[in-house]
Amino acid sequence: MSKLTKNQKLVADKVEAGKAYTLKEAASLVKEITTTKFDASIDIDVRLGVDPRKANQMVRGVVSLPNGTGKTVRVLCLCTPDAEAAAKEAGADYVGLDEYIEKIKGGWTDIDVIITMPAIMGKIGALGRVLGPRGLMPNPKSGTVTMDVAKAIREVKQGKIDFKVDKSGIVHTSIGKASFSPEQIFGNAKEFMATIIKLKPASAKGTYVKSIYLSSTMSKGIKIDPKSVEEILSLIHI
């Protein structure tokens, strides 16, 4: 067996193999086992008892993380001239219309989120081949197609994220940074899990939340006991 590095041994000593931790314990532990020199992302992976191939079992939603994401989110607002001033004031990094549509057609995607208005979706449809594979296509369900672009920009800048279950029934998303306090990580994870549970499809059979893992970039996953999450959420009347 190859010798463990100092950091690997530190992690092995702290995380018990096979043990399921409470969400609160995991929020502290994930910081202790993060040994990267950069500010790593804190990720949560939730395996759900759904069949995403069935339209009525697709779990997709948005959540406003109370402590933000810790990331700088670059926002492009494609809007009519009368909404430009409000979009800039709300914090959009890029604001305009035709010139940015041309840039995207040319392959420019140096952004994280696009927010637009219903009247403009006709123009954006042609960009599907560029935006779709990168997850940048605006969508009314995620709140990125709206009449109130300024409000949507502020929410995204403050920590609103959208997520959806993948083909294998797993929802994966980042809920913070390793520089966050355990309380901030716990608060974001709790809010995310509350949203997941609210979105349970009526047609889902059996156990809904099958497993939960918390990890940071390049760290080992910490197994979380789904019952501990259900107990916390029952106290806040989900």
pLDDT, tens digit (0-9, with 9 covering 90-100), for 121-175: 999 988 999 999 998 999 998 899 999 999 999 999 999 998 999 999 999 999 9
Q: Give residues with Cβ within 8 angstroms of 166, minimum separation 6.
A: 52, 172
pLDDT-derived band at 1, boundaries 50, 70, 90:
very low
Quote the tokens at residue 196: 């997941």
Average pLDDT for 63-75: 94
- The pLDDT tens digits for 7-26 are 666 666 788 888 999 999 99
Quote the tokens at residue 230: 């259900």
Q: Which CATH number fits domain 19-69+160-235: 3.30.70.270, 3.30.43.10, 2.60.40.10, 3.30.190.20?
A: 3.30.190.20
75-157 has the same fold as 19-69+160-235: no
pTM: 0.81
Average pLDDT for 57-81: 94
- The pLDDT tens digits for 188-218 are 999 999 999 999 999 999 999 999 999 999 8
Answer for the pair 51, 170: CB distance below 8 angstroms, yes or no: no
Quote the pLDDT of residue 35: 86
Parse the chain into domains and list their residue ranges: 19-69+160-235, 75-157
Question: What CATH fold (topology level) applies to the domain 75-157?
Answer: Rossmann fold (3.40.50)
Q: What is the CA radius of gyration of the chain?
A: 20
